[in-house]
């Protein structure tokens, strides 16, 4: 297994070992001891599966005051996955990193607690699997505008199909600081 640093501490791209031949392939999608040895959580509390069609943009989502870390993988299709540091006391506040995740490249993206997460479908439909460090709580669900100019994500698309919630998400500067995570949660 190989890790790729993103320049933002804790935000990690993982390239699992994939063993393949003419019949197909095998890979470990998660192994507590191995992931813990890389500094990633060894315990997740919820597993989710999401399907998104071509042209869909989702995010940027976060949960606060009970934040979620996420280990994201794509089982079908390809997407551009993004995480933004929204921890108000972080030296990398408002910085983002993105990575193409696909069924072919088998990459995973670990997004720590305190980050907003979003993606756009490059080739779909996309079947997305992600493990979460805490359970989803609708009352703490929040978002930041996917195209916030202060964050300036270089998306590979100019527009896409958004949910009403995502289309109306506020810019980061319009969210009260009390409603954003901090590093020492």
> Which of the following is catalytic: 64, 110, 130, 140?
130
DSSP 8-state secondary structure symbol assigned to residue 84? E
DSSP 8-state secondary structure symbol assigned to residue 68? -
> Which of the following is catalytic: 61, 62, 106, 110?
61
The yes-or-no answer on residue 61 being catalytic is: yes
Task: Give all strands (DSSP E) within 36-103, no chain letters.
Answer: 46-52, 57-63, 70-85, 96-102
The yes-or-no answer on residue 130 being catalytic is: yes
| Cα radius of gyration rounded to whole Å, the chain | 16
Work out the end-to-end distance of the chain between its first and last CA atoms, rounded to an integer number of angstroms.
Answer: 30
Cβ neighbors of 126 (< 8 A, separation 6 or more) are: 50, 51, 52, 56, 74, 76, 77, 78, 79, 119
Distance separating alpha carbons of residues 28 and 110, to the nearest angstrom: 15
DSSP, residue by residue, 156-180: S-S--B--HHHHTPPPGGGS-GGGS
Query: Would you please indicate which residues are annotated as catalytic (active-site) residues?
Result: 61, 130
């Amino acid at each position: 297994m190989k890790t790729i640093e993103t320049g933002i501490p804790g935000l990690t791209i993982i390239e699992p070992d994939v063993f393949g031949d003419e019949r197909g392939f095998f890979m470990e999608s998660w192994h507590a001891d191995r992931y813990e040895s890389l500094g990633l959580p060894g315990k997740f509390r919820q597993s989710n599966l999401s399907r998104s069609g071509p042209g869909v943009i989702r995010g940027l989502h976060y949960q606060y005051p009970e934040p979620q870390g996420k280990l994201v993988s794509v089982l079908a299709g390809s997407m551009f996955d993004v995480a933004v540091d929204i921890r108000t006391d972080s030296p990398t506040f408002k910085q983002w990193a993105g990575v193409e995740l696909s069924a072919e490249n088998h990459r995973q993206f670990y997004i720590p607690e305190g980050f907003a997460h979003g993606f756009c479908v490059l080739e779909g439909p996309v079947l997305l699997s992600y493990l979460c460090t805490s359970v989803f709580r609708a009352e703490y669900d929040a978002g930041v505008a996917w195209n916030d100019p202060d964050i300036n994500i270089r998306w590979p698309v100019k527009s896409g199909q958004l949910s009403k919630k995502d289309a109306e998400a506020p810019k980061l500067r319009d969210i009260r600081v009390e409603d954003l995570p901090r590093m020492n949660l």
